């Protein structure tokens, strides 16, 4: 498994993993800073339930990064958004980089 060179991780997002819901709404874990490559581009993404959803941004991160759906993400400019889809590309033994793409509301 090849990895994407760390020099390409030009951005940092803050991810608060969704842990469940409680009496006062959603419960999030402690914030984690993630180095990534951010793309703020609107596109149509298929959600986990099969419905089409509009994504306003996405980021590529190391392959081991797997935030739960519904996690809260703060972008470098301060905008808060939510994880709607997570795609993993694992090149296995091929000489291609493995990564995770996270699509945001």
Report all structural domains of the chain as residue ranges with CATH numbers, in order of start: 2-104 (2.40.10)
pTM, rounded to two decimals: 0.89
Provide the b/e sequence for 49-58 (b: ≥16 CB within 10 Å): eeeeeebebb
Report the alpha-carbon distance of residue 83 to residue 90 in Å, rounded. 20
pLDDT tens digit at each of 105 positions of the chain: 566 777 778 999 999 999 999 888 999 999 999 999 999 999 999 877 888 999 999 999 998 999 999 999 999 999 999 999 999 988 878 877 889 999 999
């Amino acid at each position: 498994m090849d990895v994407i060179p760390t020099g390409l991780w030009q951005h940092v997002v803050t991810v608060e993993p969704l842990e469940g819901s409680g009496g006062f709404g959603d419960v999030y874990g402690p914030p984690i800073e993630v180095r990534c490559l951010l793309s703020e581009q609107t596109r149509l993404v298929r959600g986990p339930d099969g419905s089409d959803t509009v994504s306003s941004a996405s980021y590529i991160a190391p392959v081991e990064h797997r935030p739960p759906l519904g996690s809260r993400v703060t972008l470098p400019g301060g905008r808060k958004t939510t994880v709607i889809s997570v795609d993993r590309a694992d090149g296995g033994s091929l000489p291609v980089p493995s990564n995770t793409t996270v699509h945001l509301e």
